[in-house]
């Protein structure tokens, strides 16, 4: 049974039975999410920016689990004392809960001190046949048509807040290009520069054959 929780911002937990993976774990944004009690076995990071790295290192150390990220970011996490797995873009990586492939994102990636964080990524997960695409931070890109052709994702987690990423119009187009059945918006409302018109997004998505599921982190169970 695959279960997806929106923690807030770009942070998600995807659970498969008694295993779970955290993506971009800015868990400090939601004190209702009790990560200590969750059966988390892995953390995946799309890029190094603080709003995505979140509490990854703390969680990884405390739970003795592995952070998987592109080489430069993994190396940083390792230097901070976490167990890591370095990856590049474009190849399936196997995990206890399923598999994932890191794919392109058009975005920058730097650590807090300005060091290069490696290339930014999006992540496609295959959890018992459920294919979930976490776009990370990115603009709309033609890569999304290729992702549809190669991986046929069913669910897309897309940033809609603009300024640093796609806005609602481009995210609706991304949902179409990815060919997903369901789109879940993320990366909006968290700070002033990324406010989004959810109603407009819902309406734009409704033009395609895609369901828009707006998840409220405050209702997390």
Which residues of the chain form contacts with Mn ion (CB under 5 A)? 51, 137
In the sheet that 211-212 helps form, which strands lie side by side, from edge to edge? 92-95, 98-104, 121-127, 130-134, 155-159, 182-186, 211-212
From 6-14, 42-50, 71-79, 150-158, give the range in contact with Ni ion by CB under 5 A.
Answer: 42-50
> Judged by CB, which is closer to Ni ion: 49, or 170?
49
Question: Which residues have a Cβ under 8 Å from the Cβ of 92 and sit 6 or more positions away?
Answer: 99, 100, 101, 126
Cβ proximity to Ni ion: between 105 and 147 the closer is 105
Q: Cα separation of 54 and 93, whole Å? A: 23
In the list 49, 63, 170, 187, the residue contacting Ni ion (rule: CB under 5 A) is 49
CB atoms near residue 132 (< 10 Å): 24
Binding mask 121-140 toward Ni ion (x if CB under 5 A, else -) reads: ----------------x---
Question: Cα–chain-centroid distance for residue 83?
Answer: 20
**Rounded CA separation 52/23 (Å):** 8
Least Å distance between CB 17 and Ni ion?
A: 31
Closest to Mn ion by CB, 72 vs 137, is: 137
Applying CB under 5 A, does 13 fall inside the site for Ni ion?
A: no
Nearer to Mn ion, 63 or 187 (CB): 187
42's contact among Mn ion, Ni ion, none, with CB below 5 to 8 A by partner kind, is none
Binding site for Ni ion (CB under 5 A): 49, 137
């Amino acid at each position: 049974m695959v279960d997806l929780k929106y923690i807030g911002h770009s942070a998600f937990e995807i659970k498969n039975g008694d295993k779970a993976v955290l993506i971009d774990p800015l868990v400090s944004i939601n004190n209702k999410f009790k990560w200590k009690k969750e059966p988390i076995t892995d953390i995946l990071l799309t890029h190094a920016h603080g709003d995505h790295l979140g509490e990854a290192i703390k969680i990884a150390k405390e739970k003795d689990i592995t952070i998987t990220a592109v080489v430069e970011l993994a190396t940083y996490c390792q230097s901070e004392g976490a167990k890591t797995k370095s990856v590049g873009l474009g190849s399936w990586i196997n995990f206890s809960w399923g598999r994932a492939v890191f794919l392109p994102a058009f975005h920058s990636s730097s650590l807090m001190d300005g060091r290069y964080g490696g290339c930014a990524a999006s992540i496609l997960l295959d959890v018992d046949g459920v294919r979930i695409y976490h776009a990370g931070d990115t603009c709309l890109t033609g890569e999304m048509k290729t992702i549809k052709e190669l991986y046929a994702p069913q669910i897309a987690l897309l940033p809609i807040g603009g300024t640093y990423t796609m806005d609602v119009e481009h995210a609706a187009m991304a949902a179409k290009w990815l060919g997903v059945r369901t789109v879940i918006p993320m990366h909006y409302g968290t700070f002033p520069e990324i406010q989004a018109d959810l109603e407009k997004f819902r309406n734009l998505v409704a033009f395609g054959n895609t369901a828009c599921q707006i998840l409220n982190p405050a209702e997390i169970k």
